[in-house]
Amino acid sequence: MTLVAILSGAGISTDSGIPDYRGPQGVWRRDPGAEKLVTYDAYMSDPAIRRRSWAMRADSPTLRAVPNGAHRAVAELERSGTAVRVITQNVDGLHQAAGMPARKVLELHGTARRVVCAHCQARSSMEEALARVAAGEEDPPCLECGGILKSATVMFGQRLDPEVLAQAMAITKACQVFLAVGSTLQVQPAASLAGIAADHGARLVIVNAEPTPYDDLADEVVREPIGTSLPALLKELHGG
């Protein structure tokens, strides 16, 4: 059976109202200071940055977003009986919300739907933490040990979970088709997966609005909007 690996980046979720980071309207271009809010050392050492981070999370569209046609098309491909694995750089949980089984989604950069204590590693829901912020706690501490709480995402300066990365690598090497969707393919080590897939003989398809460093390796590059081009591509895959 053909194994299809889909690496998804911020571009797959922009139709759901979540801005990307590096595009023309991206978060980093509009507010260069925003990067500090998701930089581990700055976050851990500066209570003012943590307070700004919590305010940003409370105002973030991520938790209110719903899956779009691209997320649903991926889940439909999986339901059709095709072997599909999603490797996502996103932290929004929209692949799972669209119906993709959680065990078939690898979240390289963690999830914004949970919080984790940097000291004791206790986890709880982001909703619960944001309720505490709304009630007046500007920098809510861990209820278990009093440590610093952060979103369960991989911040700048943090390592990816080696187990998740190893699984992503294994899927990349084993797949016959590798689609990179909505990713600039600039953030390592996620970006390198496209090259590894091509080296191992997979058909590499890149769907992204702007050029990526891996376009020359691709069997096909699609510049059309993801919301319409991805469902059509996946339908073609299932038909084939």
Q: What is the pLDDT of residues 42-71, one digit of tens each?
A: 999 999 999 999 998 988 889 899 999 999
H helix count then E strand count, the chain: 10, 9
Burial (Cβ within 10 Å: 0-12, 13-18, ≥19) of residue 236:
exposed
Which of the following CATH numbers is that of domain 1-18+66-109+160-240: 3.90.230.10, 3.90.320.10, 3.40.50.1220, 1.10.10.10?
3.40.50.1220
Tell whether the model's pLDDT for residue 75 goes beyond 60: yes
Domain extents for the chain?
1-18+66-109+160-240, 19-60+110-153
Kindly state the tokens that stand for 159.
């390592």
The answer to whether residues 21 and 193 touch, using CB atoms and an 8 Å cutoff, is no
Map tokens 């706690």 to a residue.
Answer: 137
**Active-site residue list:** 109
pLDDT of residue 108: 96
pLDDT of residue 28: 47
Which of the following CATH numbers is that of domain 19-60+110-153: 3.10.20.740, 3.30.1600.10, 3.40.50.1100, 1.10.1760.20?
3.30.1600.10
Greater pLDDT, 19 or 169: 169
The answer to whether residues 149 and 117 touch, using CB atoms and an 8 Å cutoff, is yes
Task: With residue 58 as reference, give the H or E element that holds it.
Answer: helix 47-59
Contacts of 204 by beta carbon, 8 Å cutoff, 6+ apart: 178, 180, 194, 197, 198, 214, 217, 218, 219, 220
Q: What is the spatial distance between Cα 49 and Cα 33, in angstroms, rounded to a whole number? A: 10
How many angstroms separate the first and last alpha carbons of the chain? 12
Strand, helix or coil at 175?
coil
pTM of structure: 0.91
72: left (phi over 0), alpha (psi -120 to 50) or beta: alpha
Q: What is the pLDDT of residues 88-136, one digit of tens each?
A: 999 999 999 999 999 999 999 999 999 999 999 999 999 999 999 999 9
pLDDT of residue 21: 58
pLDDT of residue 37: 87
pLDDT of residue 35: 78
Kindly state the tokens that stand for 14.
């922009």
Residue-averaged pLDDT of the chain? 92
Which residues are bridge partners to 203 per DSSP?
177
The total number of residues shown for the chain amounts to: 240
